[in-house]
Structure 1
Amino acid sequence: MIVNGSSETQLDITDRATQYGDGCFTTMLVKDGKVKYWDAHLTRLQSTCERLFISSINWGELTLHVSELAKQQKLGVLKVLISRGSGGRGYSPEGANTPVYIVSQHSFPAHYRDWQRKGIELNVSSITLAKQPLLAGLKHLNRLEQVLIKRELANDAFQDCLVLDTDDVIVESSVGNVFWYGENAWHTPALNFSGVEGVMRNQVMAYLSANQVPIHQCREGLNSIQSASEVFVCNSLMGIVPVSAIEFSDGHRAYYLSEKTRDLQNGVMNY
């Protein structure tokens, strides 16, 4: 693990990442010794730090260490976590002027290959996301909602779940962003109030726009996805994963095709 350029195994107990979840992170696919979409991950980290008022990151040094660790992996995962740094007791960030970046290596989740080939089934989480425009779209360190969602999902027979906000509007899945096809267009949730603006989400949207395929960002309830013909979830590690079925809270189960999704898997990968 690299902490501010040095090999470390510990973090200061006063670090605001551990005290308050004061920071952000990104998780990246490494393939053949290179980070996939590094420029997009870096841009998101920079944008998030700007919105959280975290400054003085040595981005060039961080990029160098990411590149060096990536060279050690044929297929794997790198995670970059940025904290505001250490500070005194209390919420105020005053005095926490030395941010910390952490780069760690991880194994690639083997089950993602099966998900890509076979597709997955979803249910709908009973846990809803709070609406907070100031944090919407950011991959910040305050992930307790997601922890509770994953805990609930672990007790079910589904690989993933749809997550709604407190207005019963679709936001994302427990692991990534969600898209569905209906009325001759792709749809994905707008992230004005909650959710994570995923790197793969942006790649998919860029690919669709470049190929003049209609894509709408929307705030829709479950009725919209119930009547869709295709659904997929995506993130930067697993890529695009078809959804074969969704079981809704009333017991109704909808089944989906994957023809257009398979085309997207191939197209976005080579885009």
Structure 2
Amino acid sequence: MAVTWVNGVPCDRIAVNDRGLAYGDGLFETIAVVAGRPRLWEAHLDRLRAGCARLQLPEPPAEPLWREARALCRQQPTGHGLLKLLYTRGSGGRGYAPPAEPEGTRILTLHPWPDWPETHWRNGIELFLCQTRLARQPLLAGLKHLNRLEQVLARSEWSDERWAEGLVRDGEGWLIEGTASNLFGVAGETLITPPLDDCGVAGVMRRNIMLLSDELQIPYEVTPVDPNALRGMDEVFVSNSLAGIWPVRGLSDGTVWAAPGPVTRRLQQALCAQGVVPGPGRGEA
């Protein structure tokens, strides 16, 4: 059962006029908890601050937020779980105009670690190619804002457990990301990921993988990818802050890849060495 704090107090309720509820006026982060500690915390906080600047939200207080996160994570009996941080503009009157002096609402919720099959990490997954398209909106591109209806619609397109994740495109047909992950391909020895200038979420794990690529001297490019280009990739994988890296072995249109490929496995091993996600199937860092 989830444990929830609101503004530093154990509580599972917010005001009905909170703008996060009324308008999706806010941001969120989903953070891996490994061995009782929130991982990649600074990267999550950096993205949250950048989102606050873009949406003109007051920044949440960093020190109290860290203390609350640490205290909440220590309540996870297994030591591994996920911490969801929601930050809204707070309460306001009716209408879109934001309050002149907003008081943000911070919500922290601790959940058990997802019950994913170990094979997702070791042997790879299959992806469903969604028909729902992402709208282009550069003002919101990259942000993990609270408006997730596009992802809800895309995820509703399949129910077969064969597909562990779905791929979404923009209105022009370019591949952008998974419904809850970022997309990577490998062409030769070069790592490739789509740009997120017009839509999509700039994942914290995506950023971490790029930094790891620099350390491992794996060249990477941020370049547009369409379905035909993806089909020609030597390796494909998806990433997020909880799953780390899942190799991709197939697409719902019949495309097949060998998974995991050598670049994918090398990056997976680097993530294990970082201790930012539990080891697959063992609940260990």
Q: TM-score, normalised by structure 1?
A: 0.95
Q: CA deviation at 1:162?
A: 1.2
Q: CA deviation at 1:153?
A: 2.5
Give the SS at the match of 2:256.
Answer: strand
| Pairing 1:29–2:42 present | no
Aligned to 1:218, which of 213, 219, 223?
223
In structure 2, the residue matched to 1:164 is: 169
CA RMSD of aligned residues (A): 1.4
In structure 1, the residue matched to 2:278 is: none
CA contact (8 A) 2:189 2:263 kept: no
In structure 2, the residue matched to 1:186 is: 191
CA distance in 2, matches of 1:98, 1:188: 37
CA contact (8 A) 1:185 1:215 kept: yes
Cα offsets for 1:36-85 (capped at 9, x unmatched): 11111111111111111001522211111001111222111100000000
Aligned to 1:253, which of 243, 252, 255?
255
Matches within 5 A, 1:3-42: 3-42=6-45
In structure 1, the residue matched to 2:54 is: 51
CA contact (8 A) 1:229 1:257 kept: no
List 4+ stretches of structure 1 deviating above 4 A: none
CA contact (8 A) 2:205 2:239 kept: yes
What residue ranges of structure 2 are gaps of 5+ in the alignment?
275-285
CA contact (8 A) 1:125 1:149 kept: yes
What residue ranges of structure 1 are gaps of 5+ in the alignment?
none
Aligned to 1:199, which of 192, 195, 204?
204
In structure 2, the residue matched to 1:232 is: 237
Cα offsets for 1:218-257 (capped at 9, x unmatched): 1121111100111000100011110011122xxx423233
Amino acid at match of 2:41: W
Matches within 5 A, 1:99-138: 99-111=104-116, 113-138=118-143
| Pairing 1:173–2:178 present | yes
- Equivalent pairs counted in the alignment come to 268
Amino acid at match of 2:266: D
1:56/1:28 Cα in 2 relative to 1: closer, same or farther (>3 Å)?
A: closer
Give the SS at the match of 2:193.
Answer: strand
In structure 1, the residue matched to 2:281 is: none
Amino acid at match of 2:258: Y
Give the SS at the match of 2:157.
Answer: helix
CA contact (8 A) 1:86 1:96 kept: no
CA distance in 2, matches of 1:33, 1:57: 22
Give the SS at the match of 1:233.
Answer: strand
Indicate the percent of aligned positions where both proteins have the same amino acid: 38
Cα offsets for 1:68-124 (capped at 9, x unmatched): 111222111100000000111111113451110000011111115331122100121
Q: TM-score, normalised by structure 2?
A: 0.90
In structure 1, the residue matched to 2:147 is: 142
CA distance in 2, matches of 1:106, 1:261: 28
CA distance in 1, matches of 2:150, 2:53: 23
